[in-house]
Structure 1
Amino acid sequence: MLPVTGEEDDQMHELEAIDKELAELQLRKAELELEEQGERSKLGNNRDHEADLTWFESEAPRGGIYMLPHVNIDEPPEPQIPPQPLIAMEDLAETPGYTQCPTCEEYVVTNTRKKVGELAWILCCLCSMFGGVAGCCLIPFYMDSTKNFHHHCPRCQSHIHTYRQW
Protein backbone atom coordinates (compact mmCIF):
# COMPACT_ATOMS: atom_id res chain seq x y z
CA MET A 1 0.00 0.00 0.00
CA LEU A 2 1.33 3.43 -1.01
CA PRO A 3 1.59 6.26 1.51
CA VAL A 4 -1.08 8.96 1.21
CA THR A 5 0.22 12.43 0.33
CA GLY A 6 -1.31 15.70 1.52
CA GLU A 7 -3.12 16.40 -1.76
CA GLU A 8 -4.53 12.88 -2.01
CA ASP A 9 -5.60 13.10 1.64
CA ASP A 10 -7.49 16.35 0.90
CA GLN A 11 -9.18 14.69 -2.07
CA MET A 12 -10.21 11.74 0.08
CA HIS A 13 -11.72 14.07 2.70
CA GLU A 14 -13.58 15.93 -0.03
CA LEU A 15 -14.93 12.68 -1.50
CA GLU A 16 -16.03 11.52 1.94
CA ALA A 17 -17.82 14.84 2.51
CA ILE A 18 -19.58 14.53 -0.85
CA ASP A 19 -20.62 10.93 -0.09
CA LYS A 20 -21.97 12.00 3.29
CA GLU A 21 -23.93 14.89 1.73
CA LEU A 22 -25.31 12.56 -0.96
CA ALA A 23 -26.48 10.08 1.68
CA GLU A 24 -28.17 12.93 3.62
CA LEU A 25 -29.90 14.17 0.46
CA GLN A 26 -31.15 10.68 -0.41
CA LEU A 27 -32.50 10.31 3.13
CA ARG A 28 -34.19 13.74 2.89
CA LYS A 29 -35.66 12.80 -0.51
CA ALA A 30 -37.15 9.60 0.95
CA GLU A 31 -38.61 11.61 3.86
CA LEU A 32 -40.14 14.14 1.46
CA GLU A 33 -41.66 11.40 -0.67
CA LEU A 34 -43.27 9.87 2.44
CA GLU A 35 -44.55 13.29 3.54
CA GLU A 36 -45.85 13.95 0.04
CA GLN A 37 -47.75 10.67 -0.04
CA GLY A 38 -49.22 11.36 3.38
CA GLU A 39 -50.25 14.92 2.47
CA ARG A 40 -51.78 13.81 -0.81
CA SER A 41 -53.95 11.33 0.98
CA LYS A 42 -55.04 14.04 3.44
CA LEU A 43 -55.59 16.77 0.85
CA GLY A 44 -56.93 14.66 -1.98
CA ASN A 45 -56.28 16.06 -5.45
CA ASN A 46 -54.89 19.49 -4.66
CA ARG A 47 -53.16 20.67 -7.86
CA ASP A 48 -51.67 23.80 -6.27
CA HIS A 49 -49.78 21.64 -3.78
CA GLU A 50 -48.44 19.41 -6.58
CA ALA A 51 -47.23 22.47 -8.48
CA ASP A 52 -45.43 23.69 -5.36
CA LEU A 53 -43.66 20.34 -4.98
CA THR A 54 -42.68 20.27 -8.67
CA TRP A 55 -41.13 23.73 -8.29
CA PHE A 56 -39.26 22.62 -5.17
CA GLU A 57 -37.86 19.52 -6.88
CA SER A 58 -36.70 21.38 -10.01
CA GLU A 59 -35.33 24.55 -8.38
CA ALA A 60 -33.78 23.26 -5.15
CA PRO A 61 -29.99 23.32 -4.92
CA ARG A 62 -28.27 19.95 -5.00
CA GLY A 63 -25.01 20.11 -3.11
CA GLY A 64 -24.50 23.77 -3.96
CA ILE A 65 -25.41 23.27 -7.64
CA TYR A 66 -28.72 24.45 -9.06
CA MET A 67 -30.38 22.13 -11.55
CA LEU A 68 -31.57 23.91 -14.70
CA PRO A 69 -34.65 22.77 -16.61
CA HIS A 70 -34.16 20.50 -19.60
CA VAL A 71 -33.73 22.27 -22.93
CA ASN A 72 -34.54 20.47 -26.15
CA ILE A 73 -31.67 21.19 -28.55
CA ASP A 74 -33.26 19.41 -31.53
CA GLU A 75 -35.76 22.22 -32.12
CA PRO A 76 -34.57 25.04 -34.41
CA PRO A 77 -34.25 28.46 -32.77
CA GLU A 78 -37.10 30.89 -33.19
CA PRO A 79 -36.51 33.51 -35.88
CA GLN A 80 -35.23 36.82 -34.60
CA ILE A 81 -38.02 39.41 -34.78
CA PRO A 82 -36.99 43.06 -34.79
CA PRO A 83 -38.50 45.01 -31.85
CA GLN A 84 -38.90 48.20 -33.89
CA PRO A 85 -39.44 49.03 -37.56
CA LEU A 86 -36.43 48.52 -39.80
CA ILE A 87 -34.99 51.29 -41.92
CA ALA A 88 -33.86 50.32 -45.41
CA MET A 89 -30.13 50.80 -45.93
CA GLU A 90 -30.74 53.39 -48.65
CA ASP A 91 -32.91 55.46 -46.26
CA LEU A 92 -30.28 55.83 -43.52
CA ALA A 93 -29.53 59.54 -42.94
CA GLU A 94 -27.41 61.62 -40.51
CA THR A 95 -28.64 59.87 -37.36
CA PRO A 96 -28.09 56.22 -36.41
CA GLY A 97 -30.81 53.93 -37.68
CA TYR A 98 -32.18 50.47 -36.84
CA THR A 99 -31.44 48.11 -39.72
CA GLN A 100 -30.17 44.64 -40.55
CA CYS A 101 -26.46 44.32 -41.20
CA PRO A 102 -25.83 42.68 -44.60
CA THR A 103 -22.60 41.05 -43.34
CA CYS A 104 -23.52 39.48 -39.98
CA GLU A 105 -27.33 39.59 -40.62
CA GLU A 106 -28.03 40.91 -37.10
CA TYR A 107 -30.55 43.64 -36.31
CA VAL A 108 -28.51 46.60 -35.07
CA VAL A 109 -28.56 50.35 -34.50
CA THR A 110 -25.80 51.66 -36.71
CA ASN A 111 -22.79 53.69 -35.59
CA THR A 112 -22.30 56.85 -37.63
CA ARG A 113 -19.10 58.76 -38.40
CA LYS A 114 -18.86 62.13 -40.14
CA LYS A 115 -16.14 62.42 -42.76
CA VAL A 116 -15.22 65.24 -45.11
CA GLY A 117 -16.88 64.62 -48.46
CA GLU A 118 -16.19 65.60 -52.06
CA LEU A 119 -18.39 68.69 -51.79
CA ALA A 120 -16.10 70.23 -49.18
CA TRP A 121 -13.09 69.84 -51.48
CA ILE A 122 -14.96 71.31 -54.45
CA LEU A 123 -16.13 74.33 -52.40
CA CYS A 124 -12.61 74.82 -51.02
CA CYS A 125 -11.13 74.89 -54.51
CA LEU A 126 -13.83 77.29 -55.78
CA CYS A 127 -13.39 79.59 -52.78
CA SER A 128 -9.62 79.74 -53.23
CA MET A 129 -9.94 80.40 -56.98
CA PHE A 130 -12.30 83.32 -56.38
CA GLY A 131 -10.03 84.96 -53.83
CA GLY A 132 -10.50 83.16 -50.52
CA VAL A 133 -8.75 85.49 -48.10
CA ALA A 134 -7.16 84.51 -44.76
CA GLY A 135 -8.18 80.86 -44.91
CA CYS A 136 -11.83 81.33 -45.84
CA CYS A 137 -11.42 78.42 -48.22
CA LEU A 138 -11.24 76.12 -45.17
CA ILE A 139 -14.79 76.93 -44.02
CA PRO A 140 -16.41 74.07 -46.02
CA PHE A 141 -14.37 71.54 -43.99
CA TYR A 142 -16.18 72.65 -40.79
CA MET A 143 -19.72 72.59 -42.20
CA ASP A 144 -21.84 69.47 -41.50
CA SER A 145 -23.74 69.98 -44.74
CA THR A 146 -20.57 69.15 -46.74
CA LYS A 147 -19.78 65.97 -44.83
CA ASN A 148 -20.74 62.38 -45.59
CA PHE A 149 -22.21 60.14 -42.87
CA HIS A 150 -20.82 56.60 -42.85
CA HIS A 151 -22.97 53.93 -41.15
CA HIS A 152 -21.15 50.93 -39.63
CA CYS A 153 -22.34 47.79 -37.83
CA PRO A 154 -21.50 47.92 -34.09
CA ARG A 155 -20.97 44.12 -33.97
CA CYS A 156 -18.83 43.28 -36.99
CA GLN A 157 -17.66 46.85 -37.84
CA SER A 158 -18.55 46.40 -41.53
CA HIS A 159 -19.59 49.37 -43.65
CA ILE A 160 -23.36 49.45 -44.22
CA HIS A 161 -24.14 52.72 -46.05
CA THR A 162 -22.78 56.20 -46.84
CA TYR A 163 -25.25 59.09 -46.72
CA ARG A 164 -24.41 62.12 -48.86
CA GLN A 165 -26.51 65.24 -48.27
CA TRP A 166 -26.16 66.65 -51.80
Structure 2
Amino acid sequence: MAITGENPLGEPSHGQGQDKVSMILEKWPAVELLLEQKGLQSDLINEVRDYVSDLRSEASTISKLRKLMVTCALVYVLFVNLLLVCMLFYHQWFFILIGNYGRVGLIVAVISSSVIIIIKILAGLFRTHGDRNKDEMLPPHLQHLLEVFKAAQGN
Protein backbone atom coordinates (compact mmCIF):
# COMPACT_ATOMS: atom_id res chain seq x y z
CA MET A 1 0.00 0.00 0.00
CA ALA A 2 1.20 3.38 -0.86
CA ILE A 3 1.25 6.12 1.73
CA THR A 4 -0.72 9.10 0.56
CA GLY A 5 -0.31 12.64 1.61
CA GLU A 6 -3.82 12.90 3.05
CA ASN A 7 -4.67 12.06 6.66
CA PRO A 8 -7.09 9.08 6.61
CA LEU A 9 -7.32 8.74 10.41
CA GLY A 10 -7.96 12.42 11.00
CA GLU A 11 -4.91 12.84 13.22
CA PRO A 12 -3.99 16.39 14.17
CA SER A 13 -1.02 17.87 12.40
CA HIS A 14 2.18 18.74 14.24
CA GLY A 15 1.76 22.48 14.07
CA GLN A 16 -1.43 22.63 16.12
CA GLY A 17 -0.11 22.50 19.73
CA GLN A 18 -2.34 25.30 21.00
CA ASP A 19 -5.36 23.80 19.22
CA LYS A 20 -4.76 20.50 21.03
CA VAL A 21 -4.89 22.19 24.41
CA SER A 22 -8.08 24.05 23.54
CA MET A 23 -9.63 20.85 22.20
CA ILE A 24 -8.77 19.02 25.45
CA LEU A 25 -10.24 21.87 27.50
CA GLU A 26 -13.41 21.82 25.40
CA LYS A 27 -13.94 18.11 25.92
CA TRP A 28 -12.87 18.04 29.56
CA PRO A 29 -16.46 17.88 31.04
CA ALA A 30 -17.18 14.82 28.90
CA VAL A 31 -13.92 13.23 30.04
CA GLU A 32 -14.77 13.93 33.70
CA LEU A 33 -18.22 12.42 33.19
CA LEU A 34 -16.71 9.29 31.62
CA LEU A 35 -14.21 8.98 34.49
CA GLU A 36 -17.01 9.34 37.05
CA GLN A 37 -19.11 6.71 35.26
CA LYS A 38 -16.14 4.36 35.21
CA GLY A 39 -15.70 4.80 38.95
CA LEU A 40 -19.38 4.14 39.55
CA GLN A 41 -19.24 1.05 37.36
CA SER A 42 -16.30 -0.33 39.34
CA ASP A 43 -18.20 0.36 42.59
CA LEU A 44 -21.24 -1.40 41.15
CA ILE A 45 -19.13 -4.36 40.07
CA ASN A 46 -17.67 -4.61 43.58
CA GLU A 47 -21.17 -4.45 45.11
CA VAL A 48 -22.44 -7.15 42.73
CA ARG A 49 -19.41 -9.29 43.55
CA ASP A 50 -20.12 -8.92 47.28
CA TYR A 51 -23.78 -9.68 46.72
CA VAL A 52 -22.99 -12.83 44.74
CA SER A 53 -20.58 -14.01 47.45
CA ASP A 54 -23.35 -13.42 50.02
CA LEU A 55 -25.73 -15.48 47.88
CA ARG A 56 -23.17 -18.27 47.69
CA SER A 57 -22.68 -18.28 51.46
CA GLU A 58 -26.48 -18.28 51.90
CA ALA A 59 -26.78 -21.24 49.52
CA SER A 60 -24.09 -23.04 51.50
CA THR A 61 -25.95 -22.35 54.75
CA ILE A 62 -29.21 -23.59 53.22
CA SER A 63 -27.45 -26.77 52.11
CA LYS A 64 -26.17 -27.34 55.65
CA LEU A 65 -29.65 -26.65 57.06
CA ARG A 66 -31.16 -29.15 54.64
CA LYS A 67 -28.77 -31.84 55.83
CA LEU A 68 -29.50 -30.95 59.46
CA MET A 69 -33.25 -31.06 58.89
CA VAL A 70 -33.02 -34.43 57.13
CA THR A 71 -31.07 -35.77 60.08
CA CYS A 72 -33.49 -34.27 62.62
CA ALA A 73 -36.51 -35.61 60.71
CA LEU A 74 -35.03 -39.10 60.55
CA VAL A 75 -34.15 -39.02 64.25
CA TYR A 76 -37.66 -37.84 65.12
CA VAL A 77 -39.35 -40.51 63.01
CA LEU A 78 -37.13 -43.26 64.44
CA PHE A 79 -37.58 -42.02 68.01
CA VAL A 80 -41.37 -41.76 67.82
CA ASN A 81 -41.78 -45.11 66.08
CA LEU A 82 -39.38 -46.84 68.48
CA LEU A 83 -41.22 -45.24 71.41
CA LEU A 84 -44.46 -46.71 70.09
CA VAL A 85 -42.86 -50.15 69.71
CA CYS A 86 -41.44 -49.85 73.22
CA MET A 87 -44.86 -49.01 74.61
CA LEU A 88 -46.48 -51.88 72.70
CA PHE A 89 -44.08 -54.60 73.83
CA TYR A 90 -42.41 -53.44 77.05
CA HIS A 91 -44.87 -51.09 78.77
CA GLN A 92 -48.14 -52.78 78.03
CA TRP A 93 -49.75 -51.43 81.23
CA PHE A 94 -49.82 -47.98 79.56
CA PHE A 95 -51.83 -49.38 76.64
CA ILE A 96 -54.18 -51.12 79.03
CA LEU A 97 -54.79 -47.85 80.90
CA ILE A 98 -55.56 -45.69 77.85
CA GLY A 99 -58.20 -48.01 76.43
CA ASN A 100 -59.10 -48.96 72.87
CA TYR A 101 -59.65 -45.43 71.54
CA GLY A 102 -56.45 -44.20 73.14
CA ARG A 103 -54.43 -46.99 71.53
CA VAL A 104 -55.83 -46.25 68.10
CA GLY A 105 -55.35 -42.50 68.60
CA LEU A 106 -51.73 -42.97 69.70
CA ILE A 107 -50.89 -45.22 66.76
CA VAL A 108 -52.58 -42.85 64.28
CA ALA A 109 -50.79 -39.85 65.85
CA VAL A 110 -47.38 -41.50 65.55
CA ILE A 111 -47.89 -42.59 61.96
CA SER A 112 -49.42 -39.30 60.83
CA SER A 113 -46.70 -37.21 62.50
CA SER A 114 -44.07 -39.32 60.74
CA VAL A 115 -45.79 -38.86 57.39
CA ILE A 116 -46.34 -35.14 57.91
CA ILE A 117 -42.74 -34.44 58.85
CA ILE A 118 -41.43 -36.43 55.92
CA ILE A 119 -43.79 -35.04 53.30
CA LYS A 120 -44.36 -31.44 54.33
CA ILE A 121 -41.16 -30.29 55.97
CA LEU A 122 -38.70 -32.09 53.72
CA ALA A 123 -40.66 -31.32 50.56
CA GLY A 124 -40.60 -27.64 51.53
CA LEU A 125 -36.85 -27.78 52.08
CA PHE A 126 -36.06 -29.23 48.68
CA ARG A 127 -37.97 -26.81 46.52
CA THR A 128 -35.87 -25.53 43.67
CA HIS A 129 -35.32 -21.89 42.82
CA GLY A 130 -37.54 -22.36 39.76
CA ASP A 131 -40.37 -23.54 42.00
CA ARG A 132 -39.93 -20.56 44.28
CA ASN A 133 -40.09 -18.15 41.35
CA LYS A 134 -42.46 -19.79 38.90
CA ASP A 135 -43.01 -16.76 36.67
CA GLU A 136 -39.38 -15.80 36.17
CA MET A 137 -36.27 -17.88 36.50
CA LEU A 138 -34.55 -15.15 38.53
CA PRO A 139 -35.84 -13.69 41.77
CA PRO A 140 -37.18 -10.11 41.42
CA HIS A 141 -34.31 -8.51 43.34
CA LEU A 142 -31.77 -10.09 40.97
CA GLN A 143 -33.75 -8.87 37.94
CA HIS A 144 -33.67 -5.31 39.27
CA LEU A 145 -29.97 -5.66 39.99
CA LEU A 146 -29.30 -6.78 36.41
CA GLU A 147 -31.36 -3.88 35.04
CA VAL A 148 -29.32 -1.40 37.10
CA PHE A 149 -26.11 -3.04 35.95
CA LYS A 150 -27.15 -2.79 32.29
CA ALA A 151 -28.15 0.84 32.76
CA ALA A 152 -24.79 1.61 34.37
CA GLN A 153 -22.97 0.07 31.42
CA GLY A 154 -24.97 2.25 29.07
CA ASN A 155 -26.70 -0.54 27.09
Could you state the TM-score of these two structures normalised by the residue count of structure 2?
0.35
In proportion to residue count, which structure has more strand?
1
* Structure with greater helix percent: 2
Q: Which one scores higher on RCO, CA 8 angstroms, separation ≥ 6?
A: 2
- Structure-1-length-normalised TM-score: 0.33
